[in-house]
Amino acid sequence: MMVLAEAMSSQAVDFGITLTQHVLRKQHLHPDARGQFTRLMAQIGVVGKLITAQVRRAGLIELWGETGDMNVQGEHVQKLDRIANDTFIEVLRRSGCVAAMASEEEDEVIEVAADRAGDYIVCFDPLDGSSNIDVNVSIGTIFAIYRRTQPDRVVPEDILRPGREQVAAGYIVYGSSTALVYSDGHTVDCFTLDPSCGEYFLTGENLRMPEKTTMLSINESNEPYWPSWTKPWVDSIKARNDPQRRRISSRHIGSLVSDFHRNLLKGGVYLYPADSNNGRGKLRVLYECNPLAFIAEVAGGAATDGTRRILDIVPTGLHERTGLVVGSKTEVAGVADFIARHG
Ligand code: FDP
């Protein structure tokens, strides 16, 4: 069995650095910092612990299955979706750091009472990949953080703004362990929750998205609805394989946050193109595509809807959807070429 000292010496990162310590260490990069961001990240960490506790016991305490309600998107709400959503809202409402929130599960913006409001706006998907809950497959929470634009009131532009204005973004994956990944726009760092002491420790510093694509993540059953460029593009990626050498593997969990996390670490491209019939994708701009695109870019990757950089989209509605291609920069850049050739 690996002893602690061995584990410490085998770590590529500064072993023993907690999430809060790390955020504090980086405060000098933000000269106008007042400590609210540090508190906000600590509270998001708490949300991750509370949701972890529920996810880990879901099969034991009847948390699998649907609530019987539909959300604003017309999807069946899972019991854990509801718990994760309520947890996120209540923890952040009490944090003193947040002025308003937008959630995948809520019809409207959630405003925080003035006496508790802080500097930040948070858009989140409380539990992404929820169709995987009942089968013990990794799911996650995704969040985007913006600074409020007005000191005394929340305005629509606080929420309906391009993703490039994010000050930070992140996600928490409930997988073989709970990992919290976030970027403050300077680096992308990964923390793993140690369940024995309830603390997040830094386990990956300044993550870089590998330039080389080895994983292709797409739901191929949607092929009849793909726009015309997608099949030739997917075929061109697969054509890199030959009988002597497999260079590309198909990996698709169907839980965006988990697919993204794997590709960030291993090198891959994820796509969910816009439907050729209605021209819309499935994934939501505000709390799925924007935060992951922000992380991808800081890690040296890129994200597009096919023609536009994801972070330049100005959403007109809370639950707006878009097509998404996210992965290494060269792979994503190649999409524009296929669109020019195949439409
Ligand atoms: P889910 O509906 O299970 O919550 O946008 C949500 C999402 O999962 C993504 O996590 C996932 O990648 C995608 O939808 C899967 O959609 P399809 O089943 O249409 O492939």
HEC letters along 233-295 = HHHHHHCCCECCECCCEECCCCCHHHHHHHHHHHCEEEEECCCCCCCCCCEEHHHHHHHHHHH
Atom 16, ligand 1: which residue's CA is nearest?
Answer: 254
Report the atom number in ligand 1 closest to the C-alpha of 127.
Answer: 4
Atom 17, ligand 1: which residue's CA is nearest?
Answer: 254
Expressed in angstroms and rounded, the spacing between residue 274 Cα and the centre of ligand 1 is: 13
Sheet containing strand 324-328, strands side by side: 249-250, 215-217, 268-272, 324-328, 301-304
From 75, 256, 283, the mutation candidate for ligand 1 (largest count of ligand atoms within 8 A of CB) is: 256
Enumerate residues lining ligand 1, CB below 6 A: 128-131, 219, 254-256, 282-283, 288
Specify the residue for token string 């510093």: 205
Average pLDDT, the chain: 91
Share of the chain above pLDDT 90, in %: 77
Expressed in angstroms and rounded, the spacing between residue 272 Cα and the centre of ligand 1 is: 9
pLDDT value for 123:
98
| Average pLDDT for 65-80 | 75
Report the atom number in ligand 1 closest to the C-alpha of 270.
Answer: 12
pLDDT-wise least confident of 5-9, 289-293, 334-338: 5-9
pLDDT value for 26:
87
| Average pLDDT for 241-246 | 91
User: What contacts 261, CB < 8 A, 6 or more positions away?
Assistant: 140, 171, 173, 175, 179, 181
Confidence of residue 98 (pLDDT cuts 50, 70, 90): very high
Q: Which two tokens stand for residue 75?
A: 């999807």
pLDDT tens per residue, range 187-225: 999 999 999 999 999 999 999 999 999 999 999 999 999
Report the atom number in ligand 1 closest to the C-alpha of 284.
Answer: 5
Atom 7, ligand 1: which residue's CA is nearest?
Answer: 129
Expressed in angstroms and rounded, the spacing between residue 124 Cα and the centre of ligand 1 is: 15
pLDDT value for 58:
80
Share of the chain above pLDDT 70, in %: 95
Atom 18, ligand 1: which residue's CA is nearest?
Answer: 254
Tell me how many degrees the CA angle 27-103-65 measures, rounded to the nearest 5.
120
Check pLDDT > 90 for residue 260: yes
Report the atom number in ligand 1 closest to the C-alpha of 258.
Answer: 10
pLDDT-wise least confident of 4-18, 114-128, 153-167, 324-338: 4-18
Check pLDDT > 50 for residue 3: no
Tell me which amino acid residue 328 is. S
Expressed in angstroms and rounded, the spacing between residue 293 Cα and the centre of ligand 1 is: 17
C-alpha torsion sign, points 43, 45, 51, 57: negative
